[in-house]
Amino acid sequence: MATLGLVEYADAGPEVRAVYDDIMATRKVDWINNFWKALARDPVTLRRTWESIKEIMRPGALDPLTKEMIYVAVSATNQCGYCIASHTAGARKAGMTDAMFAELMAVVGMANETNRLASGYQVEIDERFLTSAQAGASVVREVSTQ
Amino acid sequence: MATLGLVEYADAGPEVRAVYDDIMATRKVDWINNFWKALARDPVTLRRTWESIKEIMRPGALDPLTKEMIYVAVSATNQCGYCIASHTAGARKAGMTDAMFAELMAVVGMANETNRLASGYQVEIDERFLTSAQAGASVVREVSTQ
Amino acid sequence: MATLGLVEYADAGPEVRAVYDDIMATRKVDWINNFWKALARDPVTLRRTWESIKEIMRPGALDPLTKEMIYVAVSATNQCGYCIASHTAGARKAGMTDAMFAELMAVVGMANETNRLASGYQVEIDERFLTSAQAGASVVREVSTQ
Amino acid sequence: MATLGLVEYADAGPEVRAVYDDIMATRKVDWINNFWKALARDPVTLRRTWESIKEIMRPGALDPLTKEMIYVAVSATNQCGYCIASHTAGARKAGMTDAMFAELMAVVGMANETNRLASGYQVEIDERFLTSAQAGASVVREVSTQ
Amino acid sequence: MATLGLVEYADAGPEVRAVYDDIMATRKVDWINNFWKALARDPVTLRRTWESIKEIMRPGALDPLTKEMIYVAVSATNQCGYCIASHTAGARKAGMTDAMFAELMAVVGMANETNRLASGYQVEIDERFLTSAQAGASVVREVSTQ
Amino acid sequence: MATLGLVEYADAGPEVRAVYDDIMATRKVDWINNFWKALARDPVTLRRTWESIKEIMRPGALDPLTKEMIYVAVSATNQCGYCIASHTAGARKAGMTDAMFAELMAVVGMANETNRLASGYQVEIDERFLTSAQAGASVVREVSTQ
């Protein structure tokens, strides 16, 4: 039912197959989920999206499990059904236990609540939060995510 | 400029002071940020919100730094200026480096992008994601976040 | 700083003045807030938006105070600074007390929390909620909001 | 299909049963809807969420029907399918007629429209809205939602 | 399953039929989609919503295809399943090719990503963007969308 | 005030300068706006984000003006102040007139309204919308956005 249909491996051209192969090799899986098959009708977007995710999700200053849980947090906040299902599966594979999931959801729920309390009550940002940002910014050195 | 004004410690009644004291003791700080002062006009909500946050944010299956970063992820997704400022400060205090912040933002940005690609392309949830959830659900045992 | 500038009454043409006059007469005020002045560069949208709001916000099955509070609830959920400020003022004028505002915010905060818990936990809609909707729908009679 | 499965009453431990019993007694119903069964895998979150909702939704400065309609307004704005279904049912039970629902939706729709017009046109908040907030804030007295 | 049920043409009163007839005539179709049938229980909202959409979507400074694609962009950002399906169909009918849809989604995805990077990094608006708005606003002349 | 500070050209290393130079050359401007200076503390994200935007925003099946207006539509829907300001300026530079902006906003506003009416009324997707998607998907051929 995907808007442009799904491109199966058998029907894919070499450019799409190369991305599919890299997804399976990188993730150590033997199948391609629907998200990629739906994007594959547009090989340029398929490649760019995969290359970006591969770069962002690899181990760095944050470990893969933390990154997958952040992905679930955003997806639950946006209420994206597909993304909640796929990234909850991804986080489980990366080691998320039931207890970790439950705490993740508790934080996501609370953050969504206090975001609206802060906005609804028209709370002004404390000077200290601004100056600490400025202080942190005073030493301009580059950071790398890799 | 907060809608109901800010309740300073000196002007607070005993119920509000008790919450303020607990916030400062729990967080090991000597000041109260505007969010709590704005809520304090409604002591019932002040107390409930603080008790909930205290319960949710304490170390459990997830450590406090991870929880603060999840809070920032939600706040950035919702674009709540106050919450981004206050929880970025909170995450820094809990140990978030510049490199960790940069990776956090990269994941948040990407998740917001792919959430819309998945929805916009009307991608159906893969059977495997559903069955893995069912499999995970087959053993019904309670988990505790504490 | 509004994108297309603000149209002051003195500079407005007859079509815009007619809307401004109706806004002031309907709301029993002697000034026009920036929202309308910003829209006024596009008289067609100004007129349509005002006529729609006038029709929607007048007393009906719901009273004007309830409607203004619902407007604040949506604006806080969307975190629209302008709208929170203007409709909180509107709700106060319609009779919202500090205690009512505090309860309104408590509900808005909680709803935003449980919305994400329901989505994040991938909770399926109970049969009973669906059948009650169907039951309610079985008698097809028209309702009027006026 | 809920991520951690559903905890039925027969399978629940005493802590979960106590919450289920209180939900049924408070709401005068003889069944538990899926939202609570999904949360029940984490008894701490189940208890905290229920206690918060019970405190927030009871009659106060706002009546239960108004609170349920505000809940529907937030859920429709966030487009949470489960929450729209469950709280529409809750609002109906609290007395919402078809005509009230129709007006509620009209306000929710319009607020979502003008929220974007205000932001998109980059409208600045009127001085009067700010000063009225300050004026309202000048008398610092506590309010209770109970 | 729509909350108030669907009003079929055969069951509709003259006020609803008049709107249905105008929808079919304007869009050159011989059927009414569920959105209108669901609204039709409230003829006032049905009429106002249709009149607004008819006015907004007709050819003006922007052509109908561009308008339909903007509608899809908003619906994908909000993750409204019904709206994505109906307006993607509408955009196709107005001439959107697969390649145009793919580029539309790419822009929508990227904008949702950078929106959060801008907010999350707490980026301040450049003076030049503000002054260009002011400059554009210095000549106050009315524009018409028709 | 950006979280990690802004990296000015004079303080930038060669990797960041290379991106800055490409931004100015591609856009035919002689300055760098704050968004890029804020990202520049993380050169990997700076490069990836710029390369993605350059690929997405260049002329293809959609022209640059249409793409900039879609960017504004998403930013207004998300209510991202920075993004509304920067992309409204970008769209103006690409040729957006006041009348085009006004129509763009009218569509964005209306889409945000009907998105919530469709969700709030729990409208089911029409079979015809689904089958037309399936029909469109039956011929699986790749499309390119370039």
ipTM of this complex: 0.91
Rounded distance, CA A68 to CA A81, Å? 16
Residues of D in contact with B5 (CB under 8 A): 134, 136-138, 140
Domains of chain A and any CATH numbers: 1-58 (1.20.1290.10), 61-126 (1.20.1290.10)
In this structure, what token pair is assigned to residue B29? Answer: 């700080």
| DSSP annotation string for C87-124 | HHHHHHHTT--HHHHHHHHHHHHHHHHHHHHHHHTTPP
Average pLDDT over residues D94-121: 98
Judged against a pLDDT cut of 80, whether residue B57 lies above it is answered with yes
Judged against a pLDDT cut of 50, whether residue E137 lies above it is answered with no
Phi/psi of residue D7, nearest 5 degrees: -100, 110
Average pLDDT over residues B10-29: 97
The pLDDT value recorded for residue B81 is 97
Residues of F in contact with D114 (CB under 8 A): 109
Average pLDDT over residues E46-58: 98
Rounded distance, CA E77 to CA B113, Å? 9
The C-alpha of A65 sits at a distance from chain C's nearest C-alpha, in angstroms, of 17
Contact D11 B140 (CB under 8 A): yes
Give percent above pLDDT 70 in chain A: 89
Contact A70 B73 (CB under 8 A): yes
Give percent above pLDDT 90 in chain C: 88
Residues of F in contact with C78 (CB under 8 A): 79
Average pLDDT over residues E120-130: 95
Per the model's pLDDT, the better-predicted residue between E139 and D13 turns out to be D13
Average pLDDT over residues C109-116: 98
The pLDDT value recorded for residue E1 is 75
Cα–Cα nearest to A62, from F49, B108, B76, B78: B108
The pLDDT value recorded for residue A141 is 43
Cα–Cα nearest to D46, from D21, D77, D83: D21
Q: Which chain A residues have any C-beta within 8 angstroms of a chain C C-beta?
A: 72, 76-77, 79, 81, 84-85, 88, 104-105, 108-110, 112-117, 119-122
**F36-68: pLDDT as tens digits:** 999 999 999 999 999 999 999 999 999 999 999
The pLDDT value recorded for residue D141 is 43
**D50-60: pLDDT as tens digits:** 999 999 999 99
Average pLDDT over residues A67-94: 98
D4: nearest CB among A101, A106, A122 = A101
The pLDDT value recorded for residue E131 is 65
The pLDDT value recorded for residue F65 is 98
Give the E-state strand segments of chain B in sequence order: none
Judged against a pLDDT cut of 80, whether residue F142 lies above it is answered with no
Give percent above pLDDT 70 in chain E: 89
Average pLDDT over residues B8-30: 97
Chains with ≥3 Cβ pairs under 8 A against D? A, B, C, E, F
Length of chain A: 146
Residues of A in contact with E99 (CB under 8 A): 42
Average pLDDT over residues F107-123: 98
The pLDDT value recorded for residue A132 is 57
Average pLDDT over residues C49-58: 98
**E64-101: pLDDT as tens digits:** 999 999 999 999 999 999 999 999 999 999 999 999 99
Chains A, C: CB contacts under 8 A, how many?
66
Rounded distance, CA A85 to CA B126, Å? 9
The C-alpha of D77 sits at a distance from chain B's nearest C-alpha, in angstroms, of 13
The pLDDT value recorded for residue A65 is 98
Q: Are the C-beta atoms of B88 and B95 separated by less than 8 Å?
A: no
* Average pLDDT along chain A: 92
Rounded distance, CA C114 to CA C121, Å? 10
User: Mutation test of the interface with chain E: which of A3, A45, A55, choosing the one with the most E Cβ atoms within 10 A?
Assistant: A3
Q: Which chain F residues have any C-beta within 8 angstroms of a chain D C-beta?
A: 72, 76-77, 79, 81, 84-85, 88, 105, 108-110, 112-117, 119-122
Average pLDDT over residues A27-51: 97
Measured distance between the N- and C-terminal CA atoms of chain A, rounded to whole angstroms: 38
Rounded distance, CA E8 to CA E10, Å? 5
Which one-letter amino acid corresponds to residue C95?
G
Contact A42 F143 (CB under 8 A): yes
Rounded distance, CA E83 to CA A4, Å? 17
- The pLDDT-based confidence of C127 (bands split at 50, 70, 90) is very high
The pLDDT value recorded for residue A1 is 75
**C78-100: pLDDT as tens digits:** 999 999 999 999 999 999 999 99
Contact C130 D78 (CB under 8 A): no
Cα–Cα nearest to C57, from C89, C91, C32: C91
**F77-103: pLDDT as tens digits:** 999 999 999 999 999 999 999 999 999
> What's the burial of D139, exposed, middle or buried (CB within 10 Å: 0-12/13-18/19+)?
exposed
- The pLDDT-based confidence of C130 (bands split at 50, 70, 90) is confident
Count of CB atoms situated within 10 Å of the CB of D24: 14
* Average pLDDT along chain E: 92
Which one-letter amino acid corresponds to residue A137?
A
The C-alpha of D111 sits at a distance from chain E's nearest C-alpha, in angstroms, of 14
The pLDDT value recorded for residue B56 is 98
The pLDDT value recorded for residue C86 is 98
A98: nearest CB among D4, D78, D133 = D4
Rounded distance, CA B146 to CA C16, Å? 61
Rounded distance, CA C123 to CA D6, Å? 9
SS3 A122: coil
This prediction has a pTM of 0.93
* Average pLDDT along chain B: 92
Q: Are the C-beta atoms of D103 and C145 separated by less than 8 Å?
A: yes
User: Mutation test of the interface with chain B: which of A126, A140, A146, choosing the one with the most B Cβ atoms within 10 A?
Assistant: A126
The C-alpha of A77 sits at a distance from chain C's nearest C-alpha, in angstroms, of 6
Phi/psi of residue F26, nearest 5 degrees: -65, -40
> What's the burial of A141, exposed, middle or buried (CB within 10 Å: 0-12/13-18/19+)?
exposed
F113: nearest CB among D72, D113, D122 = D113
- The pLDDT-based confidence of E130 (bands split at 50, 70, 90) is confident
Chains with ≥3 Cβ pairs under 8 A against B? A, C, D, E, F
Rounded distance, CA C63 to CA C81, Å? 24
Cα–Cα nearest to E116, from A51, B68, A54, F38: F38
Q: Are the C-beta atoms of A50 and B132 separated by less than 8 Å?
A: no
Contact B16 D142 (CB under 8 A): yes
CA angle D42, D45, D50 (to 5 degrees): 125
Contact D98 E41 (CB under 8 A): yes
The pLDDT value recorded for residue E146 is 40
